[in-house]
């Protein structure tokens, strides 16, 4: 709720008022279109009772239909223009908070890729104000209006309609719970499979010597078959819940209302117009019910983007900026749980200034989660993380980022030159220094080489070396290497390890890897996650 308020505060008030006015008119036109069948039923009732066609009612129906459709189309058009203005408004606010510069000046600082990210995030936020994207909310309102109209026509069918909605909600709830539970098991099985693949790659020379190819192939086939069966079971049940069961309930409801409506007309409880309209609404109500499961899905990405943009304005309260550098980091019985799965359980270790420690373990054991915990990107479920004897919750996040350089699996290259990717908007590097760093990491490109969208024109090994060049250029004393040198060829890897050995000599280093040779060459001490 706080983040939504931030969005509203960031948008021009006149623009917000005009949006709500347009949305209200759009909603009014949608509601009006739902009520029109009642007028159609009145026409049928008049014809049945008087045998005269009520031309005035027909012209009223036609006029209201044209008016409401025109209003709906016009408000959609106006809203598209409003959304563009809201997007522009949010961009200006967000960019100013990051750079304290107008957008035209940002590119001059070598940071155009930042603005690209902001543009994408603000575009996602602006969809909160896109009427066409608000299908979940609009269908919820439609569901309410149709249910009220059905109650107005026939209270018994109204009660049955409410029961239909409740049954649909139960099906969705059970289906989602089943999917989440078994999908979690599938993900864990995939992580186990990937860990086995890593073991195979890691021990390929031993496998070759022992001629154990057939055994490894059989083990891989067993894992693959288990994964296939688990995935098939999950998606089959998913199909049963969200299609077969829901369709059965929907068809049963429509047949029930159809039979009941005809029976009531037959016994004279209400006229034929009311019966036809009731049957029509019974088919209309099932449309919004289909959207019950995804009623907030269309705004989920928008809310996530709001969280990201809101971070730009967050001022940490009650935190300190320690003097000097990081002297010691202590993990004291740290627990971290995601969706009921323990990533860390009573995990303890410490690293002092000048130490070089390797964190070893197979995939899925939480090695990389250490990075996000140290940088305060996530909080532990319980336990303490102490930095220089102070609880990390009371230490400035900005200070942590100033002290620590990270080469992570999740580090990003932007569609810009290699020079811009290394500098990250800073302009105090001399070109000669950057060229020297490129030679150290054995990159075959010059600083003006442009990286394409999705990093399609560099290999994985080249990407790792560019990221390593960025880390070296920023020259910090606390280094975190998260699975370094993946995809780098053996000869280049030897040369870079030799350089890193010297580079890390007077620095504090946390090396997260599953490769013993990297740990042994770069570190003095090892902490094995899988043995804790």
**pLDDT tens series, the chain, 532 aa:** 455 566 667 777 888 889 889 999 999 998 999 999 999 988 988 888 888 889 998 999 999 999 999 999 999 899 888 888 887 777 777 666 655 555 555 544 444 445 555 666 666 667 777 787 676 678 788 888 999 999 989 999 999 999 988 888 888 778 777 877 787 778 777 777 777 776 676 666 666 666 767 777 787 788 888 888 888 888 888 777 777 888 888 889 999 999 999 999 889 888 888 889 999 998 888 777 776 655 555 555 555 555 555 555 555 667 888 888 889 999 998 888 876 777 788 888 899 999 999 888 766 666 778 888 888 878 888 899 999 988 988 888 888 888 888 887 667 777 778 888 887 766 667 788 888 888 888 788 888 888 887 777 887 778 878 888 888 888 888 998 887 776 667 777 787 788 888 888 889 999 888 777 888 888 888 888 765 4
Q: How far is CA 394 from CA 334, 336, 371, in A?
A: 17, 19, 18
What's residue 260's pLDDT? 93
Q: CB-based burial of residue 253 (10 Å sphere; 0-12 exposed, 13-18 middle, 19+ buried)? A: buried
Helix 246-266 and helix 272-290: axis angle, to 10°?
170
Domains in the chain: ranges and CATH: 326-526 (3.40.50.300)
Q: How far is CA 18 from CA 10, 31, 78, 207, in A?
A: 15, 20, 10, 69
What's residue 74's pLDDT? 92
Residues 63, 40, 21, 296, CA torsion sign: negative
- Identify the bridge partners of residue 395 per DSSP, sorted by sequence position: 320
Pairing of strands 382-387, 328-338: antiparallel
467 contacts 496 by C-beta, under 8 angstroms: no
What's residue 159's pLDDT? 93
CA 466 to chain CA centroid, Å, is 27
What's residue 376's pLDDT? 84
What's residue 110's pLDDT? 45
The residue written with tokens 């280049």 in the block is 492
Q: Residue 236: in which H helix or E strand, if any? A: helix 213-239
Helix 490-503 and helix 460-474: axis angle, to 10°?
10
- Identify the bridge partners of residue 513 per DSSP, sorted by sequence position: 360
- Tokens for 521, please give them: 């060459």
The residue written with tokens 């189309």 in the block is 73
CA 262 to chain CA centroid, Å, is 49
What's residue 109's pLDDT? 47
């Amino acid at each position: 709720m706080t983040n939504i308020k931030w969005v509203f505060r960031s948008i021009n008030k006149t623009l917000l008022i005009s949006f709500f006015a347009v949305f209200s008119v759009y909603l009014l036109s949608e509601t009006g279109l739902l009520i029109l069948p009642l007028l159609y039923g009145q026409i049928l009732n008049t014809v049945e009772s008087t045998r005269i066609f009520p031309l005035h009612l027909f012209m009223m129906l036609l006029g209201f239909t044209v008016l409401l459709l025109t209003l709906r189309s016009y408000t959609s058009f106006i809203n598209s223009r409003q959304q563009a203005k809201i997007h522009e408004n949010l961009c200006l606010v967000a960019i100013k908070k990051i750079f304290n510069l107008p957008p035209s000046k940002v590119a001059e600082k070598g940071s155009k890729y930042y603005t690209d990210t902001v543009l994408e995030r603000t575009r996602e936020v602006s969809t909160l104000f896109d009427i066409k994207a608000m299908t979940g909310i609009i269908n919820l309102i439609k569901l309410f209006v149709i249910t009220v109209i059905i109650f107005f026509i026939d209270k018994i069918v109204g009660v049955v309609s409410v029961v239909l909605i409740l049954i649909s909600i139960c099906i969705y709830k059970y289906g989602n719970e089943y999917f989440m539970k078994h999908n979690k098991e599938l993900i864990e099985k995939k992580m186990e499979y990937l860990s086995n693949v890593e073991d195979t790659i890691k021990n390929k020379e031993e496998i070759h010597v022992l001629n154990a190819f057939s055994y490894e192939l059989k083990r891989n086939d067993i894992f693959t078959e288990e994964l296939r069966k688990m995935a098939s079971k999950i998606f089959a049940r998913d199909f049963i819940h969200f299609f077969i069961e829901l369709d059965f309930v929907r068809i049963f409801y429509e047949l029930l209302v159809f039979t009941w409506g005809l029976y009531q007309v037959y016994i004279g409880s209400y006229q034929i117009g009311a019966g036809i309209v009731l049957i029509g609404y019974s088919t209309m109500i099932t449309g919004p019910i289909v959207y019950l499961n995804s009623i907030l899905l269309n705004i989920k990405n928008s809310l996530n983007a709001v969280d990201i943009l809101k971070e730009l304005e967050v001022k940490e309260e009650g935190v300190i900026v320690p003097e000097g550098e990081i002297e010691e980091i202590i993990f004291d019985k740290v627990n971290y749980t995601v969706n009921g799965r323990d990533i860390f359980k009573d995990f303890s270790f410490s690293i002092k200034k000048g130490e070089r420690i390797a964190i070893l373990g197979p995939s899925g054991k939480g090695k990389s989660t250490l990075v996000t915990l140290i940088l305060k990107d996530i909080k532990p479920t319980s336990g303490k993380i102490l930095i220089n004897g102070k609880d990390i919750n009371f230490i400035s996040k900005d200070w942590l980022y100033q002290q620590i350089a990270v080469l992570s699996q999740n580090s990003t290259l932007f569609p810009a030159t290699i020079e811009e990717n290394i500098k990250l908007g800073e302009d105090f590097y001399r070109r000669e220094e950057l060229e020297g760093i490129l030679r150290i990491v054995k990159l075959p490109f010059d600083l003006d080489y442009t990286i394409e969208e999705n990093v399609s024109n560099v290999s994985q090994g080249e990407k790792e070396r560019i990221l390593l060049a960025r880390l070296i250029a920023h020259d910090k004393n606390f280094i975190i290497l998260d699975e370094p040198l993946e995809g780098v060829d053996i000869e280049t890897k030897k040369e870079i390890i030799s350089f890193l050995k010297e580079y890390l000599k007077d620095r504090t280093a946390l090396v997260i890897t599953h490769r013993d040779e990297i740990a042994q060459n770069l570190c003095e001490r090892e902490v094995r996650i899988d043995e804790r």
